[in-house]
Amino acid sequence: MDLLNTLVEKGLRRELPTREEALAVLATSDDELLDVVAAAGKVRRQWFGRRVKLNYLVNLKSGLCPEDCSYCSQRLGSKAEILKYTWLKPDEASQAAAAGVAGGAKRVCLVASGRGPTDRDVERVGKTIEAIKEQNEGIEVCACLGLLSDGQAERLRDAGADAYNHNLNTSEATYEGITKTHTYADRVDTVQKAHAAGLSACSGLIAGMGETDEDLVDVVYALRELDSDSVPVNFLIPFEGTPLAKEWNLTPQRCLRILAMVRFVCPDVEVRIAGGREVHLRSMQPLALNIANSIFLGDYLTSEGQAGQADLDMIADAGFEVEGAGTTTLPAHRADALAAAGAAAAGGCGSHASAEGAGCGSQAPAEGGGCGSHAGGGCGPCGGHAAPAAEPVAAEAAATTETVPAANTARTDLVAVRRRGAGTDLAPNA
């Protein structure tokens, strides 16, 4: 296809595609899907080789959020039966993070539900960052705490944070229909504050909330304009008890097209498959590694992911390799620019990372980032631990069946609330 050849050439030159080209990727047929993946794979390999960066989520504070984000299981009024607990102590969070690091994660993403942190919260998280870095040499830490006030990003940087995650989630035009307790502009402002403080900016989206192709292209172009180092792509987890519980709009093929479009628009940034990959990509997850160069290991904030060992096996079986702690994630031109910005913002002292910023900072973001499927803070996939199998959210999921569900039907059997790891006495999934 001439379209794909053009997109590959532009991606190798870091040239922005036209909106028409980005929309055309989302409109390709199933017959063209493997060609789309192969084309996006050429761009991915140019900038990231066959490396896969592992990120690990630690939910510092679960539930009890005053924000009304429709996609989020931690939102005000949510009836989702998730874990609810207040702040983990620094040593508890560090212990949780150690499980992910032992599993191969090079970035730990610290997430807390809520509108935004108080200065006391920032101090608390700063102590947690220090504890994690003392016990895990070379590890990247990304914070995801919601909307930032003036000076808070600088305080997190001085405590050792490498990145800050705050997702835009959806287009500006549709944002008010998803959240009313804060604005799209509020989110943009927080990403800009992180940038100005010399932190690596991690900001992404949530697909599957009923948005149009135009909305998806709008938010990805906005993320490119914000110059995010890392773009977590979340696929909505329709939790029972949330306003979007009935939104099952994604197929594995649709998810692959979305990831490819993000890669073409943001060719040289860390594209992370975040929350919902097990629910919507399912058996197509290994194919998605040809497009994205980063995933979360284990569980998310409030939902379970597949077993950590299964993630590692998947990466190896697909012919990829886990990115080591001594490897710089970002291409040299982005890593150098990030290091220079960090040094300038810190007055030249460079208190945290340099060329390690795999897309969220000189060292690491969340997502949460990936974030997205929960948390008013705009984080993302949430979780980071695991142990015994949790009960599925939907009651009907308890029954087994011999039939194979259609690709676009509700798969409530794949949605399981996290019951292990942080905030519990059970071992994490890493």
DSSP string, 7-33: HHHHHHTTPPPPHHHHHHHHT--GGGH
> Which residues have CB under 8 Å from 294's CB, separation 6+?
52, 53, 54, 55, 230, 270, 271, 272, 273, 329, 358, 359
Mind listing the pLDDT tens digit for each residue in 118-172? 999 999 999 999 999 999 888 999 999 999 999 999 999 999 999 999 999 999 9
Q: Tell me, what's the pLDDT at 416?
A: 86
Confidence of residue 407 (pLDDT cuts 50, 70, 90): low
pLDDT at res. 404: 42
User: What gap in Å lies between CA 26 and CA 261, rounded to an integer?
Assistant: 7
The annotation places the binding site at: 65, 69, 72, 109, 142, 202, 272
The pLDDT of residue 240 is above 60 = yes
Render 232-263 in DSSP notation, one character per residue. EEEE----TTSTTTT-----HHHHHHHHHHHH
Does the pLDDT value for residue 22 go beyond 90? yes
Residue 166 and residue 370: Cα distance in Å, rounded? Answer: 9
pLDDT of residue 161: 98
Cα 117 to the chain's mean position, in Å? 20
CA distance 241 to 327: 42
Q: Are 300 and 275 spatial neighbours (Cβ–Cβ below 8 Å)?
A: yes
Q: What is the pTM of this model?
A: 0.86
Task: Tell whether the model's pLDDT for residue 360 goes beyond 90.
Answer: no
Take residue 347 and report the two structure tokens written for it. 């007055």
Q: Which two tokens stand for residue 285?
A: 């997850």
- Written as six digits, the tokens of 175 are 């944002």
The pLDDT value recorded for residue 348 is 56
Q: How many residues does the chain have?
A: 430
pLDDT, position 375: 35
Q: Determine contact, residues 144/183, Cβ cutoff 8 Å.
A: no
Range of 108-122, 355-369, 409-423 with top mean pLDDT: 108-122
Give residue 225's pLDDT: 97
Domains of the chain: 19-387 (3.20.20.70)
Q: How many CB atoms lie within 10 A of CB 105?
A: 31
* Active site residue ranges: 65, 69, 72, 109, 142, 202, 272
Of 237-241, 249-253, 312-316, 366-370, which range is least confident? Answer: 366-370
Instruction: Count the neighbouring beta carbons within 10 Å of the beta carbon of residue 264.
Output: 26
**Does the pLDDT of residue 34 top 50, yes or no?**
yes
Output the pLDDT for position 64. Answer: 80
Known binding residues for [2Fe-2S] cluster are 109, 142, 202, 272
- The DSSP secondary-structure symbol of 303 reads B
Q: How far apart are CA 200 and CA 329, in angstroms?
A: 12
pLDDT number for residue 374: 35
Confidence band for 385, pLDDT divided at 50, 70 and 90: very low
**Which SS3 state, helix, strand or coil, does residue 278 take?**
helix
Rounded-to-integer distance, Cα 263 and Cα 417, Å: 30
3-state secondary structure (DSSP) of residue 6: helix
Please report the DSSP string for 41-71 in residue order.
Answer: HHHHHHHHTTEEEEEEEEEEEBS------TT
264-278 pLDDT tens trace? 999 999 999 999 999
Residue 239's pLDDT band (cuts 50, 70, 90): confident
Say what the pLDDT of residue 71 is.
79
pLDDT at position 304 over 70: yes
User: Does pLDDT of 217 surpass 60?
Assistant: yes
Which residues, in sequence order, are bridge partners of residue 371? 380
Return the minimum-mean-pLDDT range out of 3-7, 72-76, 133-137, 341-345: 72-76
List the binding residues for [4Fe-4S] cluster. Answer: 65, 69, 72
Say if residue 351's pLDDT is above 90. Answer: no
pLDDT of residue 66: 82
Radius of gyration of the chain (CA): 19
Please tell me the predicted confidence (pLDDT) of residue 347. Answer: 81
Q: Stretch 398-414: mean pLDDT, rounded?
A: 60
What span, in angstroms and rounded, lies between the C-alpha atoms of 23 and 12? Answer: 19
Which token pair is 410? 């509700």
3-state DSSP assignment of residue 109: strand
Find the range with the poorest average confidence among 51-55, 198-202, 401-405. 401-405
pLDDT, tens digit (0-9, with 9 covering 90-100), for 158-190: 999 999 999 999 999 999 998 999 999 999 999
User: Which amino acid is present at 291?
Assistant: I
3-state secondary structure of 157: helix
pLDDT band at 354 (very low <50, low <70, confident <90, very high): very low
Percent helix / strand / coil, the chain, rounded to 5: 40, 15, 50
What pLDDT is recorded for position 82?
77
